[in-house]
Amino acid sequence: MDMTPYERRLDRPTRIKLPEFQYNGRLKHVLFADQFDRPMLENFNSLSNMVRELSKGRETQLFLHNLLSEKRAMLYFTQASTRTFLSFMAACQLLGMSVAEIRDPSVSSEYKGESPFDSMRMFSSYFDLVVMRTPHAGFAEACAYLMNDLDQFNERNVPVVNGGSGSDEHPTQALLDVYTISHCFEFASERDSSRWTQFGEYRKSYPGLARGLDSKVFGFCGDIRRGRTVHSLASLLANFSDVTMYFVSPPDDDLRLPPTMRESLSARGVKVFEYDTLDDIVDKVDLLYMTRIQWEHDKDNAKRTAPTAVNADFILTPERAERMKSYAPILHPFPRNAEIPPEVDHNPRAMYFRQARNGMWVRAALIAHLFDVDGMIVARHREMSSGYHDYNVGSA
Ligand code: NCD
């Protein structure tokens, strides 16, 4: 893909780019995890909770459904996707948006030689939001520059959301991961009462355990170098304090933690360690984030392995899962290959199906933020939780 017109802007340090993806103090485009700081993450966590709670009752569901019913979204996914695509679709539907999709460029005019940037501009003529997934790192960002340039000329332009760009970034997956982790680290249970709490129970075995994401050890296993979900999540988790990260990957430079990532995490105060096998870390981590080997990135065909051929040292067998701390959640962005056998699904630590479902709430919260209707969600939620009665109705 020819990104020459955007190269100069793409090559700048992220910190310099960030203001270009904001508008009036809120996000305009969502491209990288570095756009989120801790207060924003906390805000998105609570907004996502509100969306989840409002989507339970019929009346409050209808409220959500009216929020953006005049808006249309384009899901432009030219790389395989199940969860990201479907949860964005469900999120748009929750907010009443209508949705269109292009998943195969061979059935669009790109087949006739149309440039993907012209396609993008067409989408912005018909739709109000473009969510995109592409095999090309930097393409979503370049599309955001295209939109910003249109804005300069007072032409129609729309927000761009990165739903996964090459082996680069996947910021919305990281947002839902942080939401899931925050939930897990509240250590709450429906069985909690004044006499028994899940947290109290855990503290009997782990007296130093504290709620929240500070002072935790996060373990990542699998394809660290090419796993875009790992890159974005590690960057979001670096917003918390006293964070330690353990990275485990098969012994291959194509899979290992890239030195640039180690440096940028260390520069943000994260204590970074690399290990050779899952056995080295399973019983030490507060959370384990498993990923598959991203074999589709192997240019060297001889190196391409079958998705099922996972090195045994990097498989979370039921026995290894049992050795983990009892409160430590297991996450996986999915799709999985052989690195988590289905027998682990019934382990109470397995959170990956809940994690996938959370994508809906978090993505709806993000879209609500982009269209500036998040304040209405907060107000409606407050009304719902306080059993609102306007005693002044009818008075002078
Ligand atoms: C991931 C992706 O596409 O980056 N999946 C997802 O979005 N939930 C992970 C992967 O493909 O391995």
Q: In tens digits, what is the pLDDT along the chain, a chain of 396 residues?
A: 889 999 999 999 999 999 999 998 899 999 999 999 999 999 999 999 999 999 999 999 999 999 999 999 999 999 989 999 999 999 999 999 999 999 987 877 777 888 899 999 999 999 999 999 999 999 999 999 999 999 999 999 999 999 999 989 999 999 999 999 999 999 999 999 999 999 999 999 999 999 999 999 999 999 999 999 999 999 999 999 999 999 999 988 899 999 999 999 999 999 999 999 999 999 999 999 999 999 887 776 666 666 666 789 999 999 999 999 999 999 999 999 999 999 999 999 999 999 999 999 999 999 999 999 999 999 999 999 886 555 555 555
Does the CB atom of residue 9 touch ligand 1 within 6 A?
no
Residue nearest to atom 8 of ligand 1 (CA): 333
Helical (H) or strand (E) element with 360: helix 352-370
pLDDT at site 388: 54
Atom of ligand 1 nearest to the CA of 83: 8
CB-based contacts of 357, cutoff 8 Å, min separation 6: none
Q: How far is the CA of 335 from the centre of ligand 1 (A)?
A: 6
Q: How far is the CA of 80 from the centre of ligand 1 (A)?
A: 9
pLDDT at site 83: 95
What is the distance between the alpha carbons of residues 136 and 131, in angstroms, rounded to a whole number? Answer: 15
What is the distance between the alpha carbons of residues 105 and 283, in angstroms, rounded to a whole number? Answer: 46
Does the CB atom of residue 334 touch ligand 1 within 6 A?
yes
Does the CB atom of residue 228 touch ligand 1 within 6 A?
yes
Residue nearest to atom 1 of ligand 1 (CA): 333
Is the pTM value of this prediction over 0.75? Answer: yes
- Give me the torsion for CA of 170, 219, 364, 377, rounded to 10°: -140
pLDDT at site 111: 74
Residue nearest to atom 6 of ligand 1 (CA): 333
273 three-class SS: strand
Distances (CA, A) of 299 to 105, 296, 304: 22, 8, 8
pLDDT at site 211: 98
pLDDT at site 107: 72
Closest CA to 295 of 227, 220, 221: 227
Does the CB atom of residue 166 touch ligand 1 within 6 A?
no
Q: What are phi and psi of 243, to 5 degrees?
A: -95, 135
CB-based contact 353:234 (threshold 8 Å): no
What is the distance between the alpha carbons of residues 127 and 353, in angstroms, rounded to a whole number? Answer: 31
Q: How far is the CA of 63 from the centre of ligand 1 (A)?
A: 32
